[in-house]
Amino acid sequence: MKNSYLHAIKPCTGAWLSLLALAAISFQLAYDKPGRILMLLVLVLTLLKGQLVVDHFMGLRHARPVWRVTMSVYLIAVGTLIGVAYLIR
Amino acid sequence: MQEVFTKSMARNIFLGSAVFFLIIYLALTYDTWQQIPVRDHADKITASVIRGKYLVDTNDCIGCHTINGEGSYYAPELDNVYKRRGPEFIKLWIPAQPSGVAGRRQMPHFNFTPAQIDDIVAYLQWLSNVDTNHWPPNIEG
Amino acid sequence: MHNALTADPLQQSRGQPLPGDFAIWVFIFAELTVFGVLFAAYAFTRSAHVDLFNASQLTLNRAYGFANTLLLLTSSYFVARALRAIKTGRNKACGNWLAGALGLGALFLLLKLIEFHQDFARGITLSANLFYMFYLSLTFFHFMHVAMGMIILAVVAVKAYAGRYTADRHTGVETGGSYWHMVDLVWILLFALVYVIH
Amino acid sequence: MKYQSQLVAKPYFIAALALFFGQIVFGLIAGMQFLDGTFLFSAAHFNIVRMTHTNLLIVWLLMAFMGAAYYIVPEEAQTELYSPKLALITFWVFLIAAALTVVGYLLVPYAHLAAITGNAIVPTMGRGYLEQPLPTKIGIVLVALSLLFNVTMTLIKGRKTSINLILVGALWGLALLFLPSFYFPEDTVKASYSWWWIVHGWVEGDWELILGALLGFILIKMTGVDREIVEKWLYIIMAMVLISGLVGIGHHYYYIGAPAYWIWLGSIFSAMEPIPFMLLIAFAFKMLFQRRREHPNKAAMLWAMGTPIMAFLGAGLWGFMITLAPAQYYIHGTNFTAAHGHLAFFGAYAMVSMAIISYAMPMLRGREANSVRAQHWEIAGFWIMVLSMIGIALALTGAGLVTAYLQRSGADPLGFMQVQDRARVFFWGREIAGAGFFTGLLVYLRSFFIQGEYQYTAQVKRALAT
């Protein structure tokens, strides 16, 4: 039990550190010149962050695939809507 | 592993969302309450406007008309009637009712005094200046 | 990177039900829908008023947004750790992690209040312009979710300290945690949309 | 029926149906006045006919809800009603107050009625649905207090099921939400804003909880499905009502002078208001398919299944069509709103009232279910009324669209009366469908006069023969 517990921490900690790093990158990009590439980049980074939270914090990678897919579809749908809105200007 | 779905959690969600969204609504209402006097020029609500409104209410004008779209759909919108018809027309129109034209919708005769009609017109004038987010779409109401 | 993270040595079986009480998930999905529609409404309104949105966006203090992102991400991590702790039956550790998450949540609220205070001082209101309308609605609505999440986590923390959970029976921790992660998830999207993307 | 005191529900249900009959008569007169403006002009002007029509609706629904409460609360609490005598006194007070109010409407000019009932002291009159003079409003509060006292005391001494908690809680909400009717500010915009606390608060919030509780009760009784499942889903559905409906009130605030942000908040939240109705349909049919018994009262089952569907159609679908701000910009204050109002009030609240009446009345008359013949009449009434109401809604929708196209849009919009003349065919359609509805109501009421109870043996024999 002790052993498995130690193993179980790591993915969460890894996800957390990755999230912090991604947030820092997004924050840096906030000061860049506006542009479509930049916008899409931030959007993709954001969706990636979202999926990390869903998988590792919410723990949906252990849940029935349908739930994880539901959340992924949600993230992609919201991301697509935002992306389209920013591209049609 | 069996899915957990308890009645007590369902009840907590129900009560929680009731309180949660009530607080949000109250916060928004607080803001709205500050904005309304600005948007409807509350400083222009004179004694005459108040008397006019009382007449409009106690004669159940919204039993046939709409005011800002609320009321009944039997007779025209009153929000912008002041701008549509002008004060003189209204002052002549109200005492001349009912028209008695066969089959046409009739407006009752209310026995208003000229002073009362002035009050009603003052109220309608105030009403026409309320900021209703550009509604109605045109002068016909 | 993604692969390395998902390679869980525990090999926990997939096909588990949603963590926590199903009732909270109905609420979570409802809230995510509302936020999703709000985000889309923001984005499409912006496409009709790009200059207004870009100019107004620049008046926001992005450092606050970033700091709050770090706070929520970390508190979410703490909640995940709290769940790990209770899965090995350590009630006290679970409570401590939750208390830590609560502390970070409180910091988030404090920072957001300071930001709101500065906004109001500058005359930013719901009726100032379309951008501020969305900005204030979204962040206030999210603010309320953080407050709500903290109440839930506080209840869970108290129960954890009182030893009401065990390694086998800890649905409450999962329920509260799932809600908190949703609040975190929404903020990640909100931060990117309102503070960063332009 | 398990408790003697449930019998007090009977006069409430009978009065409810009598007032329902009155409501439809006045509805037919009002519909006629759209076609011939001089019809009954001097006897009862349109506004009087309309307020009688709408007030009778409110009163009969309240009668039915009260009857339902007096029937359900004791059975759920597994104890006799706290005071059946008080319930009976309350019934007569309410009925007489309602009758006097209608007589006042019909015999005294409205302004005069306002003058003699002290409206100058506390102005309350002249708002839609709340036209009642001050004494009637105070009477409503007293009646509500009596009801609340009675059912709350019953609940306290008995079993506290979720159905009962939701029902009694919603009755408290109903009474509390009525209190803003005594607040009528001089600022018309504030008056409008607060008027919706009552109207939206009732029909798109609190009454939906009552609807849920009544439907839940009927489904538990008729299908024999586990109470635990019914109740937890009920809580979830009711939570969705509040999540969407509380801020969803903003869909009334777009064009009345309230700030512009309501256009966004109202549109987004109210767009979700159909969700609880969809869930309610799924919920009702899930219970139906999982039923553990065949209840002989087929008519009640039909009402119970029809309610969520028609509620979804009227409140959900028709409501959604006019809820988004861009659509409402053209449709606000047209007969489209009336179409929604008719279909939603009937589909949700009139039908759930008839569902509980259909279920409870045979019990109150000492039988589990009515004879097959009576049920056939009732089912025929159901279909005629439902289809006629859809007809009314479609006709009014047409009339509303005529206004939206000819009066609200285009470079050269027509005036109000010209547009009304062009919509005449729809007003005819509404009146004809209204006559159909009246026929359906007569058929429905006829079913109550057919004696006899459901004969199991006859049914079994016939099933064996075929």
| Cα first-last separation, chain C | 28
| Tens of pLDDT, residues D90-148 | 999 999 999 999 999 999 999 999 999 999 999 999 999 999 999 999 999 999 999 99
Domain count, chain A: 1
Nearest neighbour of D261 by CB, restricted to C23, C34, C133: C133
Q: At what angle do helices C171-190 and C22-48 cross, to 10 degrees?
A: 0
Q: Any chain D CB within 8 A of the CB of B17?
A: yes
Query: Which residue in D has a C-alpha nearest to residue B124's C-alpha?
Result: D188
Q: Give the CATH number for residue B90.
A: 1.10.760.10
Please tell me the number of Cα atoms within 13 Å of C10 on its side-chain side: 20
Contact D272 C33 (CB under 8 A): yes
Whether residue C18 is contained in a domain is answered as: no
Contact A53 C197 (CB under 8 A): no
Q: Tell me how close the Cα of A75 comes to any Cα of chain C, in angstroms.
A: 9
Q: What is the mean pLDDT of chain D?
A: 95
Q: Give the CATH number for residue C165.
A: 1.20.120.80
Same domain, B26 and B49: no
Q: Is the pLDDT of residue D410 over 90?
A: no
Q: Any chain D CB within 8 A of the CB of B53?
A: yes
| Tens of pLDDT, residues D290-332 | 999 899 999 999 999 999 999 999 999 999 999 999 999 999 9
Nearest neighbour of C126 by CB, restricted to B13, B20, B31: B31
Domain count, chain C: 1
Q: Any chain A CB within 8 A of the CB of C191?
A: yes
Query: Which residue in C has a C-alpha nearest to residue D279's C-alpha?
Result: C26
- Domain of B34 in residue numbering reads as 1-39
**Burial per residue of D103-125, b for 16 or more beta-carbon CB atoms within 10 angstroms, e otherwise:** ebbeebbbbebbeebebeeebbb
Question: What subunits make at least 3 CB pairs under 8 angstroms with A?
Answer: C
Chain D environment of C26 (Cβ under 8 Å): 236, 239-240
Per-residue pLDDT at A36: 86
User: Between chain C and chain D, how many beta carbons pairs sit less than 8 Å apart?
Assistant: 35
Same domain, B34 and B46: no
Among D213, C73, D94, D167, residue whose Cα is nearest residue A21: C73
Q: How far is CA A65 from CA A62, A78, B129, C18, C93, in A?
A: 8, 20, 58, 10, 30
- Domain of A80 in residue numbering reads as 2-87
Pick the residue of C12, C14, C18, C22 with the most B CBs within 10 A to test the interface with B by mutation: C22
| Tens of pLDDT, residues A42-68 | 999 999 999 999 999 999 988 999 999
Q: Tell me how close the Cα of C92 comes to any Cα of chain B, in angstroms.
A: 24
Q: Any chain D CB within 8 A of the CB of C133?
A: yes
Per-residue pLDDT at A1: 41
Chain A environment of C37 (Cβ under 8 Å): none
Average pLDDT per block of 10 residues along chain C, 198 residues long? 40 74 94 95 94 92 94 96 93 96 98 96 92 96 97 97 93 96 97 91
Three-class SS string for A31-44?
Answer: CCCCCHHHHHHHHH
Query: Which residue in D has a C-alpha nearest to residue B135's C-alpha?
Result: D255
ipTM of the complex: 0.93
- Domain of C156 in residue numbering reads as 64-198
Q: How many residues does chain A have?
A: 89
Handedness of CA D45, D48, D52, D54 (dihedral sign): positive
**Burial per residue of A29-65, b for 16 or more beta-carbon CB atoms within 10 angstroms, e otherwise:** bbeeeeeeebbebbbebbbbbbbbbbbbbbbbbbbee
Q: Tell me how close the Cα of C130 comes to any Cα of chain A, in angstroms.
A: 16
Nearest neighbour of D261 by CB, restricted to C27, C31, C137: C137
| Tens of pLDDT, residues D8-67 | 999 999 999 999 999 999 999 999 999 999 999 989 999 999 999 999 999 999 999 999
Q: Is the pLDDT of residue B91 over 60?
A: yes
Rounded-to-integer distance, Cα D207 and Cα D205, Å: 6
Q: Any chain C CB within 8 A of the CB of B2?
A: yes
Rounded-to-integer distance, Cα C90 and Cα D205, Å: 44
Q: Any chain B CB within 8 A of the CB of D424?
A: no
